[in-house]
Amino acid sequence: MSTQTVYRLASRGKFENLQPVQEPIPQAGKYEVLVKVRSVALNFRDIAIAKDIFPLPVKENLVPCSDMAGEVVQVGEGVIDFCIGDHVIAPVSLIVLYGPVKDEDHSLGGSVDGVLRQYIVLPAHATVKLPQSPHTFSDWAATVTTAYTVWNAFYGCQPLRPGQTVLLLGTGGVSLTGLIFAKAAGATTIITSSSDAKLNQIKLKYGVDYTINYRTHPDWATEVKKITAGQGADHILEVGGVGTIEQSLESVAWGGVVSVIGFLSSLMDDKMPNVTFQTLAKGAILRGILAGSKQQLEDAAKFIGKQNLSVPVDKTFPFTREGVISAFEFVASGKHVGKVCINLD
């Protein structure tokens, strides 16, 4: 029987616990496809799980990671929408086809084994065929969580409109994907970072309209109001969490949307922000985003392919134990500008 290399977290707490093991290559069953994984993209969620700081339940002896792009190499009985050779991606949750993501049930790399392996069997109904485009497998792997999370934030509630202003926190994959989508939608864009070098890089590469260094301007909400002539931002991608939510709510326009996506920051002191009053005072929508549905992933992929949008891949690593651990360490260091991928070929 043929075997494949699979990475498992025998125990959580440190990246060195990522161990390659040999396991049988599975076969596609009825209504399933076997996918050869070509590239895997990392998220902060993967770092949190490996370091055992993720707040939700995690499967023991987990195969980590949720985002991959690959090629169909076997089609199971009853599958009519896929052929051998099709390039595909899959949503993090294999059971949420449309509507809201309710929890971590059946989420790759969390409650079920993920994609850091050479081959994976997927339900055909939960697999997304990629459009023809010049994008690489790394590009597409990097769009999975970022693209449909951003699509959900911009179009899952109150749609982003041309001429509106979008505020993006930090220079990670979600924020840069949000920047790219917002620019393509005709919005004015503002992005924050603690690094002038990163801000200059993003301005040159992605054409962001305005940048704010939040170390130079710790009261960055004031800078947002200056840029917007006192109006504030119509959409905010809030990836910081409790440490930044107060400033985000100060920055949001009347009736605007703050999409809470991440939990990267912590409180600077023991004072909790008055989220209830701030939201009420602005008539704002404060909305939690748990990634997106398969339908939103399909919509985002079509948008990327049709517009031939650039994808924020910062660095790639090889599918060796040294390469895998280095990729996790690089993301954990916060030095990346965009997405980090592990390439299998």
Domains and CATH numbers, the chain: 3-129+312-343 (3.90.180.10), 149-288 (3.40.50.720)
Q: Please provide the DSSP assignment of 126-187 as one string.
A: G-EEPPS-S--HHHHHHHHHHHHHHHHHHHSSS---TT-EEEEESSBHHHHHHHHHHHHTT-
pLDDT of residue 228: 96
Confidence of residue 186 (pLDDT cuts 50, 70, 90): very high
Residues 190-200, mean pLDDT to the nearest whole number: 93
- The answer to whether residue 151 scores a pLDDT higher than 80 is yes
- The answer to whether residue 265 scores a pLDDT higher than 70 is no
pLDDT of residue 276: 77
Residues 308-313, mean pLDDT to the nearest whole number: 90
Residues 52-66, mean pLDDT to the nearest whole number: 91
Q: What's the whole-number average pLDDT of the chain?
A: 91
Neighbours of 159 (CB within 10 A): 11
Q: How far is CA 115 from CA 65, 97, 105, 266, 291, in A?
A: 6, 19, 16, 30, 17
| Percent of the chain predicted with pLDDT > 70 | 94
- The answer to whether residue 269 scores a pLDDT higher than 60 is no
pLDDT of residue 268: 53
Cross-strand partners of 32: 123
pLDDT of residue 263: 59
Q: Of residues 269 and 120, which shows the higher confidence score?
A: 120
Side-chain half-sphere exposure of 316, counting CA atoms within 13 A: 17
Residues 165-170, mean pLDDT to the nearest whole number: 95
| Percent of the chain predicted with pLDDT > 90 | 74
pLDDT of residue 115: 98
pLDDT of residue 103: 60
- The answer to whether residue 266 scores a pLDDT higher than 60 is no
Q: Please provide the DSSP assignment of 257-306 as one string.
A: EEEE-------SSSPPP-HHHHHHHHT-EEEE-----HHHHHHHHHHHHH
- The answer to whether residue 201 scores a pLDDT higher than 80 is yes
pLDDT of residue 323: 97
Residues 121-149, mean pLDDT to the nearest whole number: 94
- The answer to whether residue 102 scores a pLDDT higher than 70 is no
Q: Of residues 271 and 331, which shows the higher confidence score?
A: 331
Q: Is 273 exposed, middle or buried (0-12, 13-18, 19+ CB in 10 A)?
A: middle
Give dist(CA 344, CA 37) in Å, integer: 7
Q: Of residues 241 and 63, which shows the higher confidence score?
A: 63
pLDDT of residue 271: 65
How wide is the angle at C-alpha 196 spanned by C-alphas 190 and 197, nearest 5°? 115
Give dist(CA 141, CA 132) in Å, integer: 15
Residues 291-307, mean pLDDT to the nearest whole number: 91
Confidence of residue 243 (pLDDT cuts 50, 70, 90): confident
pLDDT of residue 217: 94
Which of the residue ranges 101-115, 243-257, 259-273 would you say has the lowest mean pLDDT? Answer: 259-273
pLDDT of residue 242: 76
- The answer to whether residue 270 scores a pLDDT higher than 70 is no
